[in-house]
């Protein structure tokens, strides 16, 4: 709030024409006036030199004057002059008077002031003035007005609202004020460089007012219908000087109303709400390039509109081109004339593959307020000719492909299974069925059977060997019995043959030696291996030798009876030795 705090008394400057054009005006210092009250009529000629003629006063009496004053100033390199004639007038009777146009003759031209209506009332005008100021209503000396540049607009069309303070006091001090709340508008503030009095005063009802612009806004109505800007309220202190505490005044502005028309039907595609006048230019910085090189596509939208609301146009870019989000650059000026300037979208496009790539034409639309029609701005299609990039650059750049998930558009069940179905009777599982149990038991039983048979067989085999050793005694005894028979018959050779056979058979069975391997050496070896005493094995050997000698060397004189005895003895002893 203090931003707007300004002390008008510091801005005590005389009204000077900034422009070098001559101007002529007439003003009164009071209106209405009371009968017989004195008031001043001032005719002011700015920046001109000439004769000022007295206007038709329409019955008002001149008490004094004219007083002439002139004023020259030179400021910021601009010189200005002012000449004023002041008359003191009075109204003799109640009623309304018209001061006719005054004329100023300057070089070859006549300037005319506007006529002034003066109302003369009974009683003191000063008191009524005080009353009105105390009630906080419209004050003739100090008031605020909201000006709208246009009162009938389309939705989205810009309107400039100006909040002006009019004052006839020299010194005005704003102490507090409330800006109206804006409903249904999107607003953009206009930067106000001049915070003091405007260089030019304004004439209202023949009274000269100093004017200050409190605020300027560009408004964009957002809905259609009657829109209202509420009254602005402010408190100020006037005429405060070092010696005077001044008067506190509370003033209220008018309410500004405007009619907003809806945009007509038939919005084209790509219309995003831009209203005003626009132009679009599209350019690519190059159209022939190598793969993986970047190209800048610039879309510039300029004109007078709510530019800040313009969205980037959607470009239809072929798959092979990579496009990045556009860089937005605004050059938007908000001034008393509204919002204008340009908004630039800069797209960075990188073709990843060689070939001809066409960027399709695109368009933006806006509503033209002056013609009341929609306008579509279309671009030209752009063709990029991309040649193969050199291998190095391809390798160097990271080939980024923006992958997109395949979208499931709508869910549905899957199709039936069309392959030949597996048909089974229900509850016909193999598991735990008799067949299954049989199948499980069969290998187990077969294994057990196998083990059993094998066991039996090895037992039998083991028995065979055992039997032989067991039977060896018997066999030997039988053979010896035959030898005894031969001895009785006195068959000497027969005795030896039987004895040898008995011994060999006995030893072969006992020591488990095959028939063909039953040699003296083998027998000797086996006997030694079974730790038979050397004495016994020597005797066995000699007995066998003796038998062989007797059979094959007829000259030997071995006694058959003795041999028989020895063999019986040997078998007996060997039987004992081999058992253990």
- Residues at the site binding other proteins, with contacts judged by CB under 8 A: 411-427, 429-432, 436, 439-440, 443-444, 446-447, 450-451, 454
Alpha carbon distance 360, 261 (integer Å): 35
Nearer to other proteins, 443 or 554 (CB): 443
Residues 274-309, buried b or exposed e (16+ Cβ, 10 A)?
bbbbbebebebeeeebebbbebebbbbbbbbbbbee
Contact 368, 156 (CB under 8 A): no
Nearest approach in angstroms of CB 459 to other proteins is 15
Measured from the CB atom, is 425 or 488 closer to other proteins?
425
CB of 403 to other proteins, least distance (A): 22
- For residue 463, the minimal CB distance to other proteins (Å) is 20
Alpha carbons 60 and 37: distance in angstroms, whole number:
11
Q: Is 366 left (phi over 0), alpha (psi -120 to 50) or beta?
A: beta
Closest distance to other proteins from the beta carbon of 404 (Å): 23
User: If you write DSSP's letter for every residue of 520-550 in order, what string do you get?
Assistant: HHHHHHHHHHTT--HHHHHHHHHHHHHHHHH
Cα separation, 219 vs 343, whole angstroms? 19
Task: Tell me which residue of 564, 397, 420, 411 sits closest to 494, measured CA to CA.
Answer: 564
How far apart are alpha carbons 199 and 214 in whole angstroms?
14
With residue 253 as reference, give the H or E element that holds it: none
Closest by Cα among 106, 333, 143 to 238:
143
CA-CA distance, 491 to 505, in Å (whole number)? 21
Where on the phi/psi map is residue 206: left (φ > 0), alpha (ψ -120 to 50), or beta? left
* Biggest alpha carbon–alpha carbon distance for the chain: 212
CA pair distance 323, 316, nearest whole angstrom: 10
Measured from the CB atom, is 72 or 447 closer to other proteins? 447
* Residue 378 or 446 with smaller CB distance to other proteins: 446
Nearer to other proteins, 433 or 512 (CB): 433
Residue 416 or 515: the one with the smaller Cβ distance to other proteins is: 416
Nearer CB in complex with other proteins: 266/443: 443
Question: b/e per residue, 84-118, with b = 16+ CB within 10 A?
Answer: bbbbbbbbeeeeebbbbbbbbbbeeeebebeebeb
**Residue whose C-alpha is closest to residue 17's, from 205, 145, 200:** 200
Give the shortest CB-440-to-other proteins separation in angstroms.
6
Q: How many Å apart are CA 55 and CA 101, to the nearest integer?
A: 6
What is the smallest separation between the CB atom of 514 and other proteins, expressed in angstroms?
A: 22
396 or 441: CB nearest other proteins:
441
Q: CB of residue 462 vs other proteins: minimum separation in angstroms?
A: 17
Q: What residues does 110 pair with on adjacent strands?
A: 105
Q: Indicate the DSSP class of residue 194.
A: -
Q: How far is the CB of 438 from other proteins (least distance, A)?
A: 10
Q: Which is nearer to other proteins, 134 or 437 (CB)?
A: 437
* 265/408 with CB nearer other proteins: 408
Least distance to other proteins from the beta carbon of 435, Å? Answer: 9
CB of 456 to other proteins, least distance (A): 14
Nearer to other proteins, 402 or 420 (CB): 420
CA 138-336-254 angle, to 5 degrees, is 15
Instruction: Tell how far CA 192 is from the center of its chain.
Output: 39
DSSP 93: S
CB of 453 to other proteins, least distance (A): 11
Comparing CB distances to other proteins, the nearer of 77 and 426 is 426
CB of 445 to other proteins, least distance (A): 9
At closest approach, how far in Å is the CB of 452 from other proteins?
Answer: 11
Which residue's CB is nearer to other proteins, number 92 or number 439? 439
Rounded CA-CA distance 221/579 in Å is 132
């Amino acid at each position: 709030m203090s931003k707007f705090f300004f002390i008008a008394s510091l801005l005590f400057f005389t009204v000077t024409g900034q422009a070098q054009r001559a101007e002529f005006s007439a003003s009164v210092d009071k209106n209405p006036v009371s009968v017989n009250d004195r008031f001043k009529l001032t005719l002011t000629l700015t920046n001109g030199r000439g004769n000022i003629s007295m206007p038709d006063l329409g019955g008002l009496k001149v008490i004094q004057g004219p007083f002439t004053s002139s004023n020259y100033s030179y400021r910021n390199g601009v010189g200005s002059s002012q000449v004023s004639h002041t008359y003191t007038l009075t109204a003799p009777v109640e009623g309304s008077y018209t001061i006719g146009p005054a004329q100023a003759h300057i070089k070859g031209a006549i300037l005319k002031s506007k006529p002034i209506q003066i109302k003369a009332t009974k009683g003191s005008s000063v008191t009524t003035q005080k009353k009105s100021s105390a009630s906080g209503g419209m004050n003739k000396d100090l008031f605020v007005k909201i000006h709208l540049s246009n009162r009938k607009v389309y939705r989205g069309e810009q309107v400039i609202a100006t909040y002006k303070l009019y004052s006839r006091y020299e010194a005005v001090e704003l102490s507090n004020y409330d800006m109206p709340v804006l409903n249904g508008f999107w607003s953009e503030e206009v930067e106000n460089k001049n915070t003091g009095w405007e260089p030019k005063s304004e004439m209202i009802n023949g009274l000269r007012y100093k004017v200050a612009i409190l605020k300027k806004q560009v408004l964009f109505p957002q809905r259609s219908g009657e829109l209202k800007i509420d009254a602005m309220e402010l408190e100020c202190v006037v005429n405060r000087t070092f010696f005077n505490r001044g008067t506190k005044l509370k003033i209220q502005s008018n309410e500004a109303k405007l009619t907003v028309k809806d945009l007509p039907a038939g919005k084209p595609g790509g219309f995003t709400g831009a209203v005003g006048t626009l132009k679009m230019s599209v350019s690519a910085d190059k159209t022939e390039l190598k793969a993986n090189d970047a190209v800048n596509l610039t879309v510039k939208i300029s004109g007078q509109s709510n530019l800040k609301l313009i969205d980037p146009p959607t470009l239809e870019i072929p798959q092979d081109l990579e496009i990045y989000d556009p860089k937005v650059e605004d050059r938007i000026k908000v001034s008393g004339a509204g919002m204008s300037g340009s908004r630039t979208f800069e797209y960075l496009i990188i073709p990843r593959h060689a070939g001809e790539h066409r960027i399709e034409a695109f368009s933006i639309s806006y509503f033209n307020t002056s013609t009341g029609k929609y306008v579509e701005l279309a671009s030209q299609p752009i063709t990029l000719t991309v040649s193969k990039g050199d291998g190095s650059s391809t390798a160097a750049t990271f080939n980024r492909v923006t992958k997109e998930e395949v979208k499931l558009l709508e869910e549905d069940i899957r199709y039936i299974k069309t392959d030949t179905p597996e048909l089974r009777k229900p509850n016909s599982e193999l598991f735990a069925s008799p067949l299954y149990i049989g199948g499980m038991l069969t290998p187990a039983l077969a294994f057990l059977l196998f083990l059993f048979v094998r066991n039996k067989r090895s037992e039998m085999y083991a028995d065979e060997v055992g039997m032989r050793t067991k039977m060896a005694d018997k066999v030997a005894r039988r053979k010896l019995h035959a030898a005894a028979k031969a001895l009785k018959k006195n068959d000497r050779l027969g005795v030896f043959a039987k004895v040898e056979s008995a011994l060999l058979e006995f030893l072969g069975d006992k020591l488990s030696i095959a028939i063909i391997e039953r040699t003296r050496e083998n027998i000797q070896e086996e006997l030694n291996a079974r730790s038979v005493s050397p004495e016994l094995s020597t005797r066995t050997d000699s007995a066998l030798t003796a038998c062989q000698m007797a059979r094959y060397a007829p000259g030997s004189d071995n006694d058959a009876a003795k041999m028989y005895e020895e063999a019986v003895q040997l078998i007996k002893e060997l039987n004992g030795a081999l058992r253990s």
